[in-house]
């Protein structure tokens, strides 16, 4: 598929095609960005409607994120093998059908299954959006096109929590999935009626199926074992068995990448100090960030009494500061290199996370300005100083012929960090909540049956139901114990997340150089 020339006539038919490509890429990618952030605010409503446990909520999130993270690189390779337009359409169609299934899911298992299919569709769709833009826009216009795509991506991410909060507040949490349908249909209509079919695919290009299977199996098994650990002991075969399978699967993936002619992930790239350091910073930082943003809406809605729409609005300052500071942070990297932007940005984010751990049980939105807003503003500053520099560092750490791979690594690291955050910090939160709740209700003198019921239902976190038969005074005491148990567990979890940010800051300061020269060809070996 030929790209646009460096300079093209505004009336050139290929230029009109490029505009349609940009529109369809924005429509398709917006689905994934809106879906991810909108659902985080709608989770409490989903939990109440379907009777989901805390572990179920972890799976609803990671059921989507895990296949997306594991298959992003493979999704890009599918486009190279079968044609970008054809593969892009397949990803959009799969995502649309799975979104409909999510919206209609009658049970939690059905929802999780549909989320897995949705994640696979997103892994095929997201690489296709940028690949289509790169194919149709020439070098002189590609940067502007990608910038437009990025701006709409940030807008979609910002609108997600607001839309999710409004829908959940109206009792329409399923609408979070249904809003994908018109976007998908619009994107497919453009691809079918406005864009030409794919050119023949070059022969001899083989897909790394073994790599895709082993990395997906390894990540899925580790995820299953870690989440199950929150409800069972490590000695349970249902815990250590999946963990062992996960470690074995990831070991086989690494081995396959060292021996395959066309690996999904050429491991020789990570011999480059700057790329390895930036990758570590990205993984640590986004693990902390995603873990906190998963539980913050639950805190605000279930414990602090916020309406879902207001809980969604609380994330807007993060995105506003990200947009406001990204360009300045990018210029800082250009002038001084990646070391100090990443070290300072990660360190500031850690401080902001600790500020989020200070509020106890508040009186609601009236205290937002003095309780959660300061922490969110500081986290937003840290995010604005970190997000662009870490992506820029990853992209400038490779030679020009590896830009596509670097983009895939950048996206995969962010998604993998989100998966790990839910799989590791999620069980930590569940375990801490159960332990603190048990201690607090033990001081209330409840009947043994009521204590047993609370212990059993503690997996529902802030939505843990009150035992039947309690008088008004005791019911209020138990409700207070549930809320404070969540706050105490949240404080510990956020403190761990802050520690991860400070480790990331240390890695940036020690490992990264003031400048980040690209990889020399001699360094690029498997």
Tens of pLDDT, residue by residue over 12-45, are 566 778 888 888 888 888 888 888 778 888 888 8
User: Which residue intervals of 51-138 are DSSP H helices?
Assistant: 54-82, 84-104, 108-136
Mean pLDDT of 134-155: 70
Q: What is the pLDDT of residue 198?
A: 62
In the block, tokens 């993270």 appear at: 69
Average pLDDT of the segment spanning 248-272: 81
- Average pLDDT in the 239-264 region? 84
Q: Highest mean pLDDT: which of 52-61, 126-135, 288-297?
A: 288-297
The CATH classification number of 269-421+497-526 equals 1.20.1250.20
Q: Is the model's pLDDT at 208 over the cut of 90? A: no
Per-residue pLDDT, 202: 57
| Residues 100-120 pLDDT 10s | 999 999 999 999 999 999 999
Cβ 314 vs Cβ 359: under 8 Å: no
47, pLDDT greater than 60: yes
pLDDT at 59 over 70: yes
Of the candidates 521, 461, 486, the one whose C-alpha atom is nearest the C-alpha of residue 56 is 461
Band (pLDDT 50/70/90 cuts) for residue 136 is confident
- What pLDDT, on a 0 to 100 scale, did the predictor assign at position 14? 65
Q: Which two tokens stand for residue 395?
A: 């992209």
Which alpha helices (H) appear in 397-471, and where do they start and end? 403-420, 426-442, 448-457
CB 131 within 8 Å of CB 7: no
CB 68 within 8 A of CB 122: yes
Cα(287)–Cα(497) distance, integer angstroms: 8
Identify the pLDDT of residue 7: 44
Is the pLDDT assigned to residue 268 strictly greater than 60?
yes
Residue closest to 282 by CA, chosen among 106, 412, 400, 129: 412
pLDDT at 418: 83
How high is the pLDDT of residue 4?
A: 45
Residue 106, classed as helix, strand or coil, is coil
d(CA 474, CA 446): 8
* Least confident segment among 377-381, 406-410, 486-490: 406-410
* DSSP summary character for residue 51: T
Mean pLDDT along residues 228-235:
69
Non-local CB neighbours of 457 within 8 Å, separated by 6+ positions: 464, 465
Which one, of 180, 181, 163, lies nearest residue 172 by Cα?
A: 163
Class assignment of domain 10-198?
mainly alpha
Statement: residue 475 has pLDDT above 80:
yes
pLDDT of residue 63: 87
Kindly indicate the confidence band of residue 427, based on its pLDDT and cuts at 50, 70 and 90.
confident
Q: For tokens 């962010």, what's the residue? A: 414
Average pLDDT, the chain: 83
SS3 readout for 304-371: CCCCHHHHHHCCHHHHHHHHHHHHHHHHHHHHHCCHHHHHHHHHHHHHHHHHHCCCCCCCCHHHHHHH
Mean pLDDT of 341-363: 95
Whose CA is closest to 77, among 200, 167, 208, 171? 208
SS (H, E, C) 356-418: HCCCCCCCCHHHHHHHCHHHHHHHHHHHHHHHHHHHHHHHHCCCHHHHHHHHHHHHHHHHHHH
Q: Do the beta carbons of residue 415 and residue 361 sit within 8 Å?
A: no
- CA 510, CA 494: separation in Å to the nearest integer? 24
| Model confidence band, residue 525 (pLDDT cutoffs 50, 70, 90) | very low
C-alpha to C-alpha distance for 266 and 228, rounded to whole angstroms: 32
List all residues 6 or more positions away from 106 whose beta carbon is below 8 Å from its beta carbon: none
The pLDDT tens digits for 269-302 are 777 788 888 889 989 999 999 899 889 999 999 9
Q: Specify the higher pLDDT residue, 400 or 520.
A: 400
Structural contact between residues 1 and 199, judged by C-beta atoms closer than 8 angstroms: yes
For 340, what's the count of Cα atoms within 13 Å in the CB-facing half-sphere? 8
Q: Tell me the percentage of the chain whose pLDDT exceeds 70.
A: 87
- Look at the block and give the residue holding tokens 């520099």: 389
Question: What is the mean predicted confidence (pLDDT) over 307-334?
Answer: 84
pLDDT, mean of residues 127-137 = 74
Closest to 501 measured CA to CA, from 354, 352, 284: 284
Listed range (9-13, 248-252, 284-288, 300-304) with the worst mean pLDDT:
9-13
Closest by Cα among 487, 461, 492 to 44: 461
Could you tell me which residue, 391 or 63, shows the higher pLDDT? 63
Phi and psi, residue 126, nearest 5°: -65, -45
The mean-pLDDT minimum among 54-68, 75-89, 99-113 falls in: 75-89
pLDDT of residue 185: 94
Predicted local confidence at residue 143, as pLDDT: 57
pLDDT at 511 over 50: yes
Tell me the CB-side half-sphere exposure of residue 183, using CA atoms within 13 A.
23
Q: Output the CA angle 465-471-476, nearest 5 degrees.
A: 55
Nearest in space to 53 (alpha carbons), one of 43, 40, 63, 66? 43
* Residues 6+ away with beta carbon under 8 Å from 296: 314, 356, 372
Query: How does residue 437 score in pLDDT terms, banded at 50, 70 and 90?
Result: very high
């Amino acid at each position: 598929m030929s790209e646009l020339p460096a300079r093209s006539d505004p009336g050139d038919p290929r230029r009109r095609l490029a505009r349609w490509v940009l529109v369809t890429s924005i429509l398709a990618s917006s689905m994934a960005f809106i879906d991810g952030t909108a659902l985080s605010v709608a989770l409490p409503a989903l939990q109440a409607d379907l009777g989901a446990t805390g572990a179920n909520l972890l799976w609803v999130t990671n059921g989507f994120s895990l296949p997306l993270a594991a298959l992003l690189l493979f999704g890009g390779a599918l486009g190279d093998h079968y044609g970008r337009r054809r593969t892009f359409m397949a990803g959009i169609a799969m995502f649309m059908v799975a979104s409909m299934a999510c919206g209609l899911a009658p049970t939690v298992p059905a929802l999780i299954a549909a989320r897995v299919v949705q994640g696979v569709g997103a892994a095929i769709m997201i690489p296709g959006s940028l690949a289509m833009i790169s194919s149709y826009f020439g070098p002189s216009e590609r940067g502007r096109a990608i910038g437009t795509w990025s701006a709409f991506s940030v807008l979609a991410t910002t609108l997600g929590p607001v839309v999710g909060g409004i829908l959940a507040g109206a009792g329409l949490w399923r609408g979070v999935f249904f809003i994908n349908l018109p976007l998908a249909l619009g994107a497919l209509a453009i691809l079918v009626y406005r864009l030409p079919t794919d050119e023949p695919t070059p022969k001899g290009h083989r897909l790394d199926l073994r790599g895709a299977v082993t990395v997906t199996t390894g990540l899925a098994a580790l995820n299953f074992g870690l989440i199950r650990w929150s409800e069972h002991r490590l000695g349970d075969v249902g815990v250590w068995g999946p963990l062992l399978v996960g470690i074995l699967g990831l070991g086989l993936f690494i081995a396959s990448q060292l021996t395959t002619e066309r690996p999904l992930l050429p491991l020789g790239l990570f011999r480059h100090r700057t790329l390895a350091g930036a990758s570590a910073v990205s993984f640590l930082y986004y693990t902390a960030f995603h873990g906190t943003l998963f539980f913050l809406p639950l805190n605000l809605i279930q414990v602090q009494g916020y309406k879902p729409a207001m809980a969604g609005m609380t994330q807007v300052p993060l995105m506003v500061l990200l947009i406001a500071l990204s360009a300045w942070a990018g210029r800082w990297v250009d002038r001084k290199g990646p070391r100090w932007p990443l070290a300072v940005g990660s360190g500031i984010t850690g401080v902001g996370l600790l500020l989020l751990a200070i509020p106890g049980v508040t009186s609601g939105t009236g205290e937002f300005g003095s309780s959660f807003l300061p922490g969110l503003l500081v986290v937003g500053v840290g995010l604005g100083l970190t997000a662009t520099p870490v992506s820029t560092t990853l992209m400038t750490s490779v030679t020009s012929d590896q830009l596509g791979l670097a983009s895939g690594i950048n996206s995969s690291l962010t998604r993998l960090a989100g998966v790990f955050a839910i799989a590791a910090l999620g069980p930590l939160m569940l375990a801490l909540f159960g332990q603190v709740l048990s201690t607090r209700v033990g001081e209330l003198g409840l009947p043994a049956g009521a204590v047993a019921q609370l212990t059993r239902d503690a997996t529902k976190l802030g939505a843990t139901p009150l035992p039947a038969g309690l008088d008004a005074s005791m019911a209020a005491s138990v409700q207070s114990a549930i809320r404070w148990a969540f706050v105490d567990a949240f404080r510990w979890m956020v403190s761990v997340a802050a520690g991860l940010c400070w480790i990331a800051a240390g890695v940036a300061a020690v490992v990264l150089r003031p400048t980040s020269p690209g990889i020399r060809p001699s360094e690029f070996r498997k």
